[in-house]
Structure 1
Amino acid sequence: MKRYIAYSVILGLVWCFVHGTIDVNNFVLGVIIAPFIIRPFKPLFNFGTNFSFGKAIRKIPAQATYMYVLIKEIIKANIVVAKIVLQPKIDIKPGIIAVPIRTKTDMSITAIANTITLTPGTLTIDMSDDRSVLYVHAIDASDPEGVANSIRDDLEKYVLEAFE
């Protein structure tokens, strides 16, 4: 129940910002609508486990760091893809790379998969049956080990801190 309340408050605030009017009535409307939005995503957020407001608040700095790293990686990847596209002779070796992951929860797996897909030049294609490997298409897979290590060291580390 505490988790519903926390997510409802967050979505109430999001509703105020999306609507463009920050007032009590708008916030209350957002909080009332939020449980109907949360319900379909209940399995993703693992509602069966205990929820602690203190733990959620302590994760805010890690989540902010994750967002900073994500934006930085997107900008870096955009520059790399732009360089590839603007070259007179495109010398790339696209391919699919198996990337072992350490994340275990649905939320973390979704976050790392979406992070990879949001980064230009990479796309998460599939996940192994045992949920330990993501298959990623890379625009330049000439160094598959380097791409896998980059994902594990530069992205997954922050996902683990923010969501597990």
Structure 2
Amino acid sequence: MRSAGFNLLLALVWALFLGEVSLRSLALGFLIGFVILALFRRALGATPYVRSVLGALALTGYFLWELVRANLHMALLALRAHPRLNPLIVGVPLRLEGDVPLTLLASLTGLLPGTVALGFSPDRRVLYVHALGMDDARAARASVLAVERRLLRLTGGSGAEEATPRPPRR
């Protein structure tokens, strides 16, 4: 049985055990089921599932933190008498591959205040980003690459641990 289905089954069994099928009991059952799968992931063959769920949680937490931080930064820029906007357009070399991960990266980049994903290079190895309020191009690239690194971990892409992106293909 696939790990996600097994986790849902454990959640349902937990809710039935409590005698109350509610969102709260199902969520608690899902959490307990996930802990069971995480503890016995090798025996149950749930390692990829556990890794994916933890990666998704890490990406979500990081993104929410960055969203709050970027909103506060943009609010401070808006309230200053003479803000230093430093508009930049930077090309960010990417390691991500595939339509879904690249689209997700562009979408997450565009959701953060002060950044807009402009598009990809023809070979889809570079994402062009417009950024406001960043000190320099290096800071803008680092912001996008931090999200990409978490997406690489989530998707199991190669190079998730690399410190520098590989050069674009020619």
TM-score, normalising length: structure 2? 0.62
| AA aligned opposite 1:110 | T
How far residue 80 of structure 1 moved from its aligned partner, in angstroms, is 0.7
Match among 149, 152, 157 for residue 160 of structure 1: 152
| Structure number with bigger Rg | 2
Number of residue-to-residue matches in the alignment: 119
Structure 1 residue runs without a partner (length 5+): 10-21, 24-51
- Structure with more relative contact order (C-alpha pairs < 8 Å, separation 6 or more): 1
Contact 2:74 2:133 in 1 (8 A): no
Determine if the alignment matches structure 1 residue 79 to structure 2 residue 78: no
The alignment-based identity, stated in percent, is 26
Cα deviation digits, residues 85-127 of structure 1 (max 9, x gap)? 0001122121211111110122211111111011110010110
Paired residue for 1:31?
Answer: none
| AA aligned opposite 2:150 | Y
4+ residue runs over 2 A deviation:
52-58
Paired residue for 2:95?
Answer: 102
Q: Using the alignment, how far apart are the partners of 2:78 and 2:148 within structure 1?
A: 27
CA RMSD of aligned residues (A): 2.4
| AA aligned opposite 2:85 | I
TM-score, normalising length: structure 1? 0.64
Q: Using the alignment, how far apart are the partners of 2:142 and 2:51 within structure 1?
A: 28
Paired residue for 2:160?
Answer: none
Paired residue for 1:46?
Answer: none
Paired residue for 1:17?
Answer: none
Give SS of 1:103's match.
Answer: coil
How far residue 54 of structure 1 moved from its aligned partner, in angstroms, is 5.6
Q: Using the alignment, how far apart are the partners of 2:82 and 2:75 within structure 1?
A: 13
- C-alpha change, 1:53 and 1:111, in structure 2 (3 Å) is farther
Match among 131, 139, 147 for residue 146 of structure 1: 139
